[in-house]
Structure 1
Amino acid sequence: MEYEGQICRSPMERSSFMLPVMVGCSYNRCQFCMLFKHLTYRRLPMDQIFADIRRVADLGGDPKWVFLGDGNAFSLPAEDLLAILQEIRRAFPSCQGVNMDATVTSIAQKTDEQLELLAKAGVSHLYLGIESGLDDVLRLMDKDHTKAQAMEQIRRIQQAGMVFDAHIMTGVAGKGRGRENALALGEFFRRTRPSRVVNFSMFIHRRAPLYQLIQQGKFVPADEGENLEEERVLLHQLWNMEVEYDGFHDILPLRVRGKLPEDREKMLKKLEKALGEHGDAPWPVALVD
């Protein structure tokens, strides 16, 4: 397999066979993201994708799960996705499902019939970069959706038979707004019922567009103590939901993960300990240019 760029996928997909179907991200406008800025987006030829599938099958591979990469694989035309899914089913008889990243817009571009066909063909989990529960924050971060639009497209994929998983970022709302964002996200998740929530606490790179907003005074980052408190408030909001949670803090040796509601108290105790140790941690800006 030839792979360009950094491998980016949810930790829940660590045992999946990662099958690239594109290079980079078809959206690639999020203010905080540097994963794909150095890449020129392009779709990979179908012959190359099919060859990767056959190569794994010829070596005896029969993965239970397949993850399509890279950023926003669901933006491929429905007919291309259906052809890839058919080849996966033919090559891997044990495959239980195919997961990938999506955006609200890439879902909206597909009809209800196409969503149902994709679900029946094997699309299982779609990871959506929800990031925040506040519309003004979504606008500032140049996301491709509002809160209401996200709810509507999540409703459509769930109705079609797919599972909604969420990516969020504590700290994305900026200094002094962590609790507000946590409460908004809690309400959003109670209404949309994700199966998984992955939290990548905000880490700002000097070359990211968001850094320019900081220099212009349009965004003031939260410190890591506030990010930890935001995560604590969010977990309280999700206390009675059945959801798998995984939270990362890049500048701290901390990872908070488990299944709610059964692991809630253990996760909260870990956060409270971290708050006591790192509550005054500085706001995170990468020193790499």
Structure 2
Amino acid sequence: MNYEGQICRAPMERASFMLPVMVGCSYNRCKFCNLFRHLKYRELPMEQIEEELKRVAELGGNPKKIFLGDGNAFGLKTEHLMEILDKIHVYFPECYCINMDATVTSILRKAEEELELLYKNGVRHLYLGIESGLDDVLKFMEKDHDQEQAIAAIERIQKAGMLFDAHIMTGVAGKGRGTENAEALADFLNRTHPRHVVNFSMFLHKEVPLYRHIEDGTFVPADEVENLREERCLLEHLKGNEILYDGFHDFIEVRVKGTLPKDKERMLAKLDQVIAEYEHREPVYAYVRGECPDLEKCENHRSLWEMEDAKRMTV
């Protein structure tokens, strides 16, 4: 597979055939994210997509599940998505499940008839970056939705038959707001009934616009113990049935995984154990350098912070 950029997909898709249909992310403005900032967004031509399908078929591949990459494949025009789905079914007629990342805005832009058509042609799981349960946090991080818009979008895809899978982040609200964010997120998830919830500590990078706010004190990061307490509060308040939950804290190598509500007490006990182990140590922060060789100056030798300011001036 010819792949440009960093492979990024939900852990539930680890056994799926990943079919690139675009490079980068069509939105690419979230302040905390460095996954696609070094890439120039573009849609891949159908010839290249079909070549990859043909290559896998000729090697004897017969995937039953396919994940369309990269960021926000659901944002492609329905006509283009349908052409991709048709090609998939030609090469892999036994494929029954085609999943991808989406944004709230990309869902709201599609008519009900389009959503129903995509479902009938195999689209099943949409992964949405919900991130926070607080509207002021979403606005600060430059997400492209608020809570009510997200609820409206999720209701529309569920009506069409699709499943909603939530990506959320502990620490996204900053120091001192973990409990507030957890309670708001639990309320949101209890209303929207996701099939999967993937939760991880928000990574802190020097190479993204959020770091400017860390430097000037307008955003103070939470450490991993606060993030663990936030996750514990979230799990305590979640009430859905048969929610597959997967929580990651890479910098202290902790993973909390199970099915709610069946495994809730076991997961809470594990969090209690880890909190007790780390709460008297030096604080640990989910800080990384990122994978772009020089992400601060990846486009026309301009810093990302300059680029973000220029975007705001043109909006």
TM-score bin, normalised by smaller chain: over 0.9
Partner of 1:268: 268
Judge conservation of contact 2:251–2:284 (CA < 8 Å) in 1.
no
SS in 1 for 2:170: coil
Judge conservation of contact 2:193–2:240 (CA < 8 Å) in 1.
no
SS in 2 for 1:24: strand
Judge conservation of contact 1:203–1:250 (CA < 8 Å) in 2.
no
SS in 1 for 2:204: coil
Judge conservation of contact 2:190–2:240 (CA < 8 Å) in 1.
no
Partner of 1:143: 143
Judge conservation of contact 1:239–1:264 (CA < 8 Å) in 2.
no
Alignment TM-score, normalising by the size of structure 2: 0.89
The answer to whether the aligner puts 1:59 opposite 2:62 as a matched pair is: no
Structure 2 residue identity aligned to 1:162: M
Structure 2 residue identity aligned to 1:141: M
Q: What is the 5 A alignment of 1:125-136?
A: 125-136=125-136
Q: What is the 5 A alignment of 1:1-289?
A: 1-279=1-279, 280=281, 281-287=283-289
Give 1:240 shift.
Answer: 4.6
- 2-side partners of 1:183 and 1:18: how far apart? 34
Structure 2: 5+ residue runs without aligned partners? 295-315
Structure 1 residue identity aligned to 2:263: D
Judge conservation of contact 1:200–1:248 (CA < 8 Å) in 2.
yes
Judge conservation of contact 2:19–2:52 (CA < 8 Å) in 1.
yes
- After the TM superposition, list the runs of 4 or more consecutive aligned residues in structure 1 that deviate by more than 6 angstroms: none
- Which stretch of the first structure deviates more once superposed, 265-274 or 160-169? 265-274
Give 1:264 shift.
Answer: 1.2
Structure 2 residue identity aligned to 1:285: Y
* Identity over aligned pairs, percent: 63
Judge conservation of contact 1:131–1:168 (CA < 8 Å) in 2.
yes
Judge conservation of contact 1:190–1:241 (CA < 8 Å) in 2.
no
Give 1:283 shift.
Answer: 2.8
Structure 1: 5+ residue runs without aligned partners? none
- 2-side partners of 1:240 and 1:76: how far apart? 31
Judge conservation of contact 1:17–1:67 (CA < 8 Å) in 2.
yes
- 1-side partners of 2:266 and 2:239: how far apart? 12
- 2-side partners of 1:6 and 1:241: how far apart? 33
Tell me the number of residue pairs that the alignment of Structure 1 and Structure 2 aligns: 289
- 1-side partners of 2:171 and 2:223: how far apart? 8
Judge conservation of contact 2:26–2:72 (CA < 8 Å) in 1.
yes
Structure 2 residue identity aligned to 1:137: V
